[in-house]
Amino acid sequence: MSREIEGVATAPDLFPRILAQGYALAGMPDHALGWLTIAVDRGFINYPFLAEHDPFFSGLRGDPRFQQIAEAVRGRWERFEA
């Protein structure tokens, strides 16, 4: 991945999440979890989607690192007030 794409991908939560999905689909869990962490840091807190519905992360749900990220997201999801 070029530095230009990496620079754009770190801005909002959508681009890092898409990269995380792509890396997960490609069987590259370290990269997937790294980009997922960036997405969460940028504001992605949709816990139900992450933990249950997003098909791209189905292969990572048993990974303790993914579970740790999901727990952090769950906490933010539960504390969110609209």
Owning domain of residue 57: 3-79
Among residues of the chain, what percentage have pLDDT more than 90? Answer: 77
pLDDT at 10: 64
Q: pLDDT class for 70, splitting at 50, 70, 90?
A: very high
Average pLDDT of span 53-67: 97
Tokens coding 12: 């909002």
Number of independent structural domains in the chain: 1
Give 9's pLDDT tier (boundaries 50, 70, 90). low
CA proximity to 33, closest of 11, 63, 3, 72: 63
- State the greatest distance between any 2 C-alpha atoms of the chain, in Å, as a whole number: 38
Q: What is the pLDDT of residue 6?
A: 72
36 near 71, Cβ under 8 Å? no
